[in-house]
Amino acid sequence: MTAKLNLSVDEVLTTTRAVRRRLDVARPVPRAVIEECLDLALQAPNGSNRNDWHWIVVDDRATVRAIAAEYRAALGLLQSGAMPSPRYLTGAKGEDRMVAAAQEFHEKLDDIPAFLLPLMAGKVEGRDAFEQAAMWGSIVQAAWSFMLALRERGLGSLWATVSTRRAPEIFDLLGVPQGAYTLIGTFPIAYTIGTDFKRAPRAPVSEVLTYNRY
């Protein structure tokens, strides 16, 4: 069993952050730690308990660099305007700080100890909201649980979806059958530099909650 920080559940839930600057790329991550976190993550619920997800960990140096190259290519598409920017990327509070941190992360991409690529079975294109909700709802909790389990063990990650713009190329690279899966992101895995993380600034409950009607 891996060393743990022994945080409370509430501490883990409130301090699991998007880690970019504080990823320690010099410290190797044993596969046993990743497998322990994934074992916990797989306890998350999934529709009809189908377990039809697939998870790829990339830790071979040449393949990490190839994934990094695809990540940069996806960013290039975004920055050149060849692909539209998602709504959440523009005009957000603290955007400048986030962009600076993202830049630092991009500079470290080649040295990330490992990436986790969660694969959701099937494609959402052409499916109605019910089917899509069941599909996303059958992978997102597990991926988040993986990040929570990392946090408890002194590691960090980042929910990074930009790379999905290059999913076909990434699938070719890793031998994933085209059309069978949806890539939900490339999650870096690394020990964090220091283990003290804070609550995030979020709109308070009083601003976002209503009872009984909108």
Ligand X SMILES: Cc1cc2nc3c(=O)[nH]c(=O)nc-3n(C[C@H](O)[C@H](O)[C@H](O)COP(=O)(O)O)c2cc1C
Positions touching ligand X (CB under 6 A) are 17-18, 20, 98, 102, 105, 158-162, 200
Residues near 212 by beta carbon (within 8 Å), at least 6 away in sequence = none
Alpha-carbon span 111 to 141, nearest angstrom: 27
Nearer to ligand X, 31 or 202 (CB): 202
Residue with tokens 């063990």: 153
Q: How far is CA 5 from CA 58, 185, 199, in A?
A: 25, 26, 17
- Distance of closest approach, residue 71 Cβ to ligand X, in angstroms: 9
CB nearer to ligand X: pick between 32 and 100: 100
Determine the Cα–Cα distance for residues 4 and 155; give it in Å rounded to an integer.
10
Backbone φ and ψ for 114, nearest 5 degrees, come out as: -160, 155
Residue with token string 């976002």: 208
Residue (18 or 40) nearer to ligand X, CB: 18
Task: Identify which of residues 18 and 134 has a Cβ nearer to ligand X in the complex.
Answer: 18
